[in-house]
Amino acid sequence: MKQTVTCCRLHPSSFILPKSFILSMKGSPFTKVCQGLAAVRDRRRADLHTHTTFSDGTYTPADVVHRARAAGLKAVAITDHDTLGGIEPARAAANGQLEVIAGVEITAEFRGSELHLLGYFVRTDDPALVAALAELRAARRDRLVEIARRLKPLGASVEEDVAAISEYVSVGRRHLAHILMARGYSHSRHHAFTRWLADPAIVAVPKRRIAVADAIGLVRKAGGVTSWAHPPANTDLATMSELHGLGLQAVECVYPWPTGAHGRRLRAMAETLGLATTGGSDSHDPSPPTRAVGARTVSLDEVARIREMSGQCSVVSGQPAGSPRPLPG
């Protein structure tokens, strides 16, 4: 009996068929179908959301570049939390073989809650942006030292270890978890968080955040393009429209969401408002595989759109791509 296989339409960034699976299907009726689906993956893509050891990632900037090249990417954005420190080391490691986009993920505040704002194609030497990020990093360090101080009466003496971390690193609770592991107080990161960093009395130290309108202004005045990082499930058009009115230019629609429905809904709202779309893996370390460098990507056309919005030159033609759009108001 002739077999019929029906396939649904799949976006290339959300479906990657492992090579090992294809090989295991050799000789079966599904072989050609599987091979065809694997070929759909467009390797000329970009991961616009990665973290390095300059913030809470475990990869060095060179590691991220190596993994991006191994994944066949044409571009990768370094978007560490509140720091631009990993960009130049990544560019040095790329040595012109991979485009490294200057990015950042800023800790911002909107309607009294934390919002992460991505900035792309920023000038890494912009005085105002550099100063604001330095203030955020200093506040991060003070906060982590205070959390470490609160752990001491409970039997974990790690305050000096936190204070010894380089001032160029944007610290967070992951750093404290790794210190707890290194000092023998925890056997895993999960244990560190559940045993030491779950009590609100310990970790409820106010976090310094920049008003989102100010954060948007900093990025755009530094020649960059702003994107809302991983918007929550309750995001609606009114909220996105309000941020757009404050100068938001793009929305992160490609991300390791539990399902693809949220990303599609965000993309539809972004298109309604004329916002660009960005996306990436939000990679910090090797696990889970859904957050590996290159596991979530956008097309080079989408990269070209935000590059044009920044007014920077195309890496292909070397010609100016456009002029920065003025801030609203």
- Three-state secondary-structure class, residue 61: helix
Q: What angle do CA 92, 279, 15 make, to 5 degrees?
A: 105
Please list the rounded mean pLDDT of every run of 10 residues in the chain (329 residues). Answer: 44 42 47 39 82 96 98 98 98 97 98 97 98 97 96 95 92 95 95 95 95 98 98 97 98 95 97 98 91 96 96 52 39
Spatial contact of 273 and 240, defined as CB atoms under 8 Å apart: yes
Spatial contact of 137 and 167, defined as CB atoms under 8 Å apart: yes
What's the token pair of residue 142?
Answer: 């003070």
Dist. CA 33–CA 71, nearest whole Å: 23
Domain membership of residue 111 (yes or no) is yes
In this structure, the answer to whether residues 305 and 242 fall within a common structural domain is yes
Other CB atoms within 10 Å distance of the CB of residue 239: 16
Domain membership of residue 129 (yes or no) is no
Contacts 24+ apart (CB under 8 A), 311-319: 311/223, 312/121, 312/223, 315/75, 315/99
pLDDT at 311: 86
pLDDT at 42: 52
Beta bridge partners of 113: 110
Cα dist. 122→227, 255, 282 in Å? 12, 22, 19
- Three-state secondary-structure class, residue 49: strand
CATH number at residue 252: 3.20.20.140
Domain membership of residue 236 (yes or no) is yes
Domain membership of residue 166 (yes or no) is yes
pLDDT at 136: 97
Question: Last residue of some domain: 203, 223, 257?
Answer: 203
CA 272 from chain centre, in angstroms, equals: 24
Domain membership of residue 317 (yes or no) is no
Domain membership of residue 19 (yes or no) is no
Question: Last residue of some domain: 181, 203, 225?
Answer: 203
Domain membership of residue 321 (yes or no) is no
Which pTM does this prediction carry? 0.82
Q: Which domain, by its residues, includes 173?
A: 136-203
pLDDT at 236: 98
In this structure, the answer to whether residues 82 and 59 fall within a common structural domain is yes
Q: How many domains does the chain have?
A: 2
199: left (phi over 0), alpha (psi -120 to 50) or beta: beta
In this structure, the answer to whether residues 303 and 229 fall within a common structural domain is yes
In this structure, the answer to whether residues 144 and 195 fall within a common structural domain is yes
- Residue count of the chain: 329
In this structure, the answer to whether residues 294 and 215 fall within a common structural domain is yes
Q: What angle do CA 44, 48, 50 make, to 5 degrees?
A: 120
In this structure, the answer to whether residues 108 and 214 fall within a common structural domain is yes
Domain membership of residue 318 (yes or no) is no
In this structure, the answer to whether residues 198 and 215 fall within a common structural domain is no
Nearest to 258 by CA among 291, 294, 235, 236: 291
In this structure, the answer to whether residues 217 and 268 fall within a common structural domain is yes
In this structure, the answer to whether residues 53 and 161 fall within a common structural domain is no
pLDDT at 23: 45
pLDDT at 102: 98
pLDDT at 16: 41
In this structure, the answer to whether residues 246 and 286 fall within a common structural domain is yes
In this structure, the answer to whether residues 260 and 174 fall within a common structural domain is no
In this structure, the answer to whether residues 59 and 96 fall within a common structural domain is yes
